[in-house]
């Protein structure tokens, strides 16, 4: 994502990015891989490395901490919190890739790994009660969202030094009404959809709601199309995370409403017009076209929560 005028860098705030991996056997949601760390039992998890995406981080951390390769099956939840710094986490569901046994010999990562039930885990010393809450939640059968919900591209060189970086969060909004998408043209003539960079920092959905209401007071956040992650390469880089969300907009007198914002011209584009829109980011046009043609999965807005939310 282009950092026009350095605005993304100016909006960046310190943060950590973490992948968590819930590993179960295929067709069995009552047994889980738990790893014993020096401060108690937890699930395979860790910071995403420089140049690395969240899915790659989840697979790597599970191999390092539990000793087994896994195949990611989907996304359980995306979490964002701001507590003076950003905490951004993605919880994945995974199954073992083969019959490799779990780790039994302690190393610098963990002491051991075991298959456990929630009843067995409840008798152990835990690093955090969160692990038990997550496993009980997965036992109840929460929705599992497609891996395509999260987009990222690993870089050629991955640096496994402990990641400390600044993160900028961006939001792009796909307003929909009568199978049309709201397109805007700003002062430079380039087309886009309503978008913004979160500043000051808060919970990402609070910011998205504020941004949406600045365009349309009658719209409502309705879904998550994609979350895009651009990892930092080195300490001096920023990480950029873009949330692409849908906003349902009610019609007025049988037609899409007129939306007026100072400094912009707006129009509602159906699929044929959208595919010929010029100047807009290619990924936005692709996702908007997939949305209108119903070729992509839109996940509920509840896919994104704060870290302290209940499971």
Determine the pLDDT at residue 175.
98
pLDDT at 160: 67
What distance in Å separates the CA atoms of residue 276 and residue 170, rounded to the nearest whole number? 25
Which string of DSSP letters, residue by residue, matches 274-304? Answer: HTT--SS-HHHHHHHHHHHTT-SPPEEGGGE
Q: Residue 216 in contact with residue 175, Cβ under 8 Å? A: yes
| pLDDT attached to residue 245 | 98
Residues 6+ apart with CB under 8 A from 299: 145, 149, 223, 224, 225
The whole-model pTM stands at 0.94
Give the pLDDT score at 162. 66
| pLDDT score for 83 | 85
Q: How far apart are CA 60 and CA 70, in angstroms?
A: 9
Give the per-residue pLDDT at 5.
47
CA distance 211 to 136: 35
Q: Read off φ and ψ for residue 179, nearest 5 degrees.
A: 55, 40
Range list of H helices, the chain: 7-10, 54-66, 118-121, 130-139, 204-215, 271-274, 282-292
> What is the pLDDT tens value at each position of the chain, 311 positions in all?
545 548 888 888 889 999 999 999 998 889 999 999 999 999 999 999 888 999 999 999 999 999 999 999 999 999 999 888 899 999 999 999 999 999 999 999 999 999 999 999 999 999 999 999 999 999 999 999 999 999 998 887 666 666 778 899 999 999 999 999 999 997 777 899 999 999 878 999 999 999 999 999 999 999 999 999 999 887 788 999 999 999 999 999 999 999 988 888 999 999 999 988 888 899 999 999 999 999 999 999 999 999 989 99
Rg of the chain over CA atoms, in angstroms?
21
245 touches 225 (CB < 8 A)? yes
Taking the C-alpha atoms of residue 148 and residue 193, their distance in angstroms, rounded to an integer, is 21
**One-character DSSP codes across 224-238:** EEEEEEE--SSTTSE
Position 158 scores a pLDDT of 65
Strand ranges inside 148-264, DSSP E: 150-152, 165-176, 181-185, 191-192, 195-197, 220-230, 238-248
- Asked if 97 and 59 count as a contact pair (C-beta separation under 8 A), the reply is no
């Amino acid at each position: 994502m282009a950092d026009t005028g350095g605005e993304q860098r100016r909006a960046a705030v310190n943060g950590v990015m973490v992948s968590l991996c819930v590993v179960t056997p295929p067709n069995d949601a009552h047994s889980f891989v738990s790893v014993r760390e020096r401060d108690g039992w937890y699930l395979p998890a860790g910071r995403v490395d420089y140049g690395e995406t969240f899915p790659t981080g989840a697979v790597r951390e599970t191999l390092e901490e539990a000793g087994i390769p896994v195949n990611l099956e989907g996304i359980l939840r995306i979490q964002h919190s701001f507590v003076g710094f950003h905490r951004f986490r993605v919880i994945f569901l995974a199954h073992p890739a083969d019959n490799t046994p779990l780790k039994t010999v302690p190393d610098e990562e963990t002491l051991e790994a075991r298959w456990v039930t929630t009843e067995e885990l409840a008798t152990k010393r835990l690093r955090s009660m969160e692990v038990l809450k997550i496993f009980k939640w997965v036992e109840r059968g929460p929705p599992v969202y497609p891996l395509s919900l999260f987009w990222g591209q690993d870089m050629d060189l991955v640096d496994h030094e402990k990641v400390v970086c600044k993160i900028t969060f961006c939001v792009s909004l796909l307003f929909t009404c009568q199978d049309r998408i709201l397109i805007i043209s700003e002062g430079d003539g380039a087309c886009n959809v309503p978008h913004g960079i979160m500043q000051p920092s808060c919970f990402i959905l609070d910011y998205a709601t504020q941004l949406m209401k600045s365009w349309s007071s009658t719209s409502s956040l309705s879904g998550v199309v994609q979350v895009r992650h651009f990892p930092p390469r080195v300490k001096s880089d920023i990480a950029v995370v873009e949330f692409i969300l849908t906003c349902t907009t009610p019609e007025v007198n049988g037609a899409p409403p007129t939306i007026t914002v100072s400094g912009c011209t707006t129009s509602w584009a159906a699929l044929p017009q959208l595919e010929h829109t010029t100047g807009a980011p290619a990924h936005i046009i692709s996702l908007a076209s997939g949305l209108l043609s119903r070729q992509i999965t839109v996940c509920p807005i509840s896919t994104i929560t704060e870290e302290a939310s209940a499971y």
